Amino acid sequence: MNEPTMERLTSMRMSAMAEAWSEQARDPKIQSLSFDERFGMLVDAEWLSRYNKRSERALRAAKLRLPSASVEDIECRPARGLDKSQIRQLATCQWIEASQNLIISGATGTGKTYIACALGHRACTKGYRVVYRRAPRLLEELRLARASGDYGRELRKLSKVNLLIIDDWAIAPIQERERQDVLEVLEDRHELHSTLLAGQLPPESWHGYLGEATLADAICDRVIHSAHRLALKGPSRRKEKTPKK
């Protein structure tokens, strides 16, 4: 009876359970366990395999700049302006479930990208759809999409992800058409999904950066008022890691 059962497990794409079942048959110690215990181990093996595959797919789709970034490796020192309890709370992804936003600001080299990618990585492992884009690349993709007639489709794609990470926000002067693009993206996501913006410019300076008052008000209103904030401090961490001569 084992061979037909194995074939059925494989045909149902339950290969992890099939492999675990084969391992149980080869292990004499397993035979002393009850049926419920052995069955529970089989289900755990299949669940873990599917969880890992789903996380891997989500990470590939997210295209994080630092795909191996980990929340556990974030250094929460007072000199950096990071509170361990706040990072721990953000790592639960409850803010994503509540469709809230996150703003990470700080000077260059203070770890904004790492923290953004670490939280994105955690979101992927919890089953959320994540997309990472640098602001210049995102704006360029939208410009090309408008030229090719795919603008609406590109906006719909961005509107559906649970967490959109926009890194290097406000790193370069913004043009009139780009301001409108940013507003379109944020409007589609407002109170529906979460957006993480990371950049050197603090939120208090966004209005001046965006320039046009009406659009600036609209953009800030859709991000800042429902956002958690991380204001990183201290010198560049890149300099800290430079070997001393």
Residue 222 lies in a domain: yes
- Do 37 and 138 lie in a common domain? no
Boundary residue ending a domain (61, 76, 104): 61
Neighbours of 217 (CB within 10 A): 12
- Do 37 and 75 lie in a common domain? no
Q: What percent of the chain has pLDDT over 70?
A: 96
Question: Can you give the pLDDT at residue 13?
Answer: 84
Query: Predicted confidence band at 21 (pLDDT cuts at 50, 70, 90)?
Result: confident
> Over the stretch 188-209, which tens digit does the pLDDT of each residue have?
999 999 999 999 999 999 999 9
State yes or no: pLDDT of 22 exceeds 70. yes
- Do 55 and 171 lie in a common domain? no
**Domain total in the chain:** 2
Q: Please give the full DSSP string across 151-180, using - where no structure is assigned.
A: HHHHHHHHHH-SEEEEESTT-S---HHHHH
State yes or no: pLDDT of 243 exceeds 80. no
Strands 101-105 and 227-231: parallel
Residue 241 lies in a domain: no
- The Cα–Cα gap between 100 and 163 comes to 10
- Please tell me the pTM assigned to this model: 0.81
State yes or no: pLDDT of 237 exceeds 80. no
- Do 177 and 219 lie in a common domain? yes
Amino acid at 228: H
Residue 190 lies in a domain: yes
The 3 state secondary structure assigned to 89-110 is: HHHCCHHHHCCCEEEEECCCCC
Boundary residue ending a domain (41, 61, 81): 61
Among the listed ranges 4-13, 100-109, 150-159, 225-234, which one has the minimum average pLDDT value?
4-13
> Over the stretch 33-80, which tens digit does the pLDDT of each residue have?
898 988 898 898 888 888 888 888 889 999 999 999 999 999 988 888
Residue 43 lies in a domain: yes
Instruction: Name the residue with higher pLDDT: 201 or 7.
Output: 201
Question: Can you give the pLDDT at residue 84?
Answer: 92
**Average pLDDT of the chain, as a whole number:** 90
Q: What's 244's DSSP letter?
A: P
- Which long-range contacts (C-beta less than 8 Å, at least 24 apart) are formed by 219-222? 219/179, 219/182, 219/183, 219/186, 222/183, 222/186, 222/187, 222/189, 222/190
- The Cα–Cα gap between 59 and 120 comes to 9
State yes or no: pLDDT of 245 exceeds 50. no
The answer to whether the CB of 219 falls within 8 A of the CB of 206 is yes
Residue 178 lies in a domain: yes
The answer to whether the CB of 143 falls within 8 A of the CB of 177 is yes
How far, in whole angstroms, is CA 163 from its chain's centroid?
6
Structure tokens at 152: 């609406």
- Do 43 and 67 lie in a common domain? no
Query: What are the C-alpha distances in Å from 98 to residues 51, 190, 207?
Result: 23, 11, 26
State yes or no: pLDDT of 131 exceeds 90. yes
State yes or no: pLDDT of 186 exceeds 50. yes
CA-atom Rg of the chain in angstroms: 23
- Do 98 and 179 lie in a common domain? yes
Question: Can you give the pLDDT at residue 242?
Answer: 46
State yes or no: pLDDT of 93 exceeds 80. yes
- Do 48 and 133 lie in a common domain? no
Residue 155 lies in a domain: yes
- Do 226 and 115 lie in a common domain? yes
Query: Predicted confidence band at 239 (pLDDT cuts at 50, 70, 90)?
Result: low
Structural domain for 51, as ranges: 2-61
- Do 91 and 211 lie in a common domain? yes
The 3 state secondary structure assigned to 205-242 is: HHHHHHCCHHHHHHHHHHHHHHEEEEECCCCCHHHHCC
Residue 242 lies in a domain: no
Question: Can you give the pLDDT at residue 79?
Answer: 84
Strands 101-105 and 130-134: unpaired
Cβ-count burial 50-70 (b if 16+ within 10 Å, e if not)? eeeeeeeebbeebebbeeebe
Boundary residue ending a domain (61, 78, 98): 61
